[in-house]
Structure 1
Amino acid sequence: MRPLAISPETAVKLAEALQVPLERLMHMPQHILLQKMMELAKEEAEKKEAGE
């Protein structure tokens, strides 16, 4: 499997947000990464709604 085609800055931000090592993130299957990103977006949306 080849590494994800994302910029280094994006990779660092995603690794921090998802709390996974950068190397693991870069070799994560794309469908799993998208699923984790959707979960993160959902959590942020819920926080935003609760804050209003």
Structure 2
Amino acid sequence: MRPLQISPETAVKLAEKLNVPLEQLMHMPQHILMQKMLELAKQEEEEKNQE
């Protein structure tokens, strides 16, 4: 499987947000990464609505 085709800056930010090691993020299947990003977006939206 190819590593994700994203910039180093984006990879670092995503790894921090998703709380996963950078190496794991880069070799994560794209569909799983998209699912985790969707969950993160939902969580952030809920936090905004609670303010």
Question: 1:47, CA displacement in angstroms?
Answer: 0.2
Aligned partner of 1:18 in structure 2 is 18
Question: 1:49, CA displacement in angstroms?
Answer: 0.3
Which residues of structure 1 form unaligned runs of 5+? Answer: none
Q: CA offsets per residue over residues 1-42 of structure 1, 9 Å max, x none? A: 000000000000000000000000000000000000000000
Which residues of structure 2 form unaligned runs of 5+? Answer: none
The aligned length equals 51
TM-score of the aligned structures, taking structure 2 as reference length:
0.99
Question: 1:46, CA displacement in angstroms?
Answer: 0.1
TM-score of the aligned structures, taking structure 1 as reference length:
0.97
Structure 1 ranges of 4+ moved more than 6 A: none
Does residue 35 of the first structure (1) align with residue 31 of the second (2)?
no
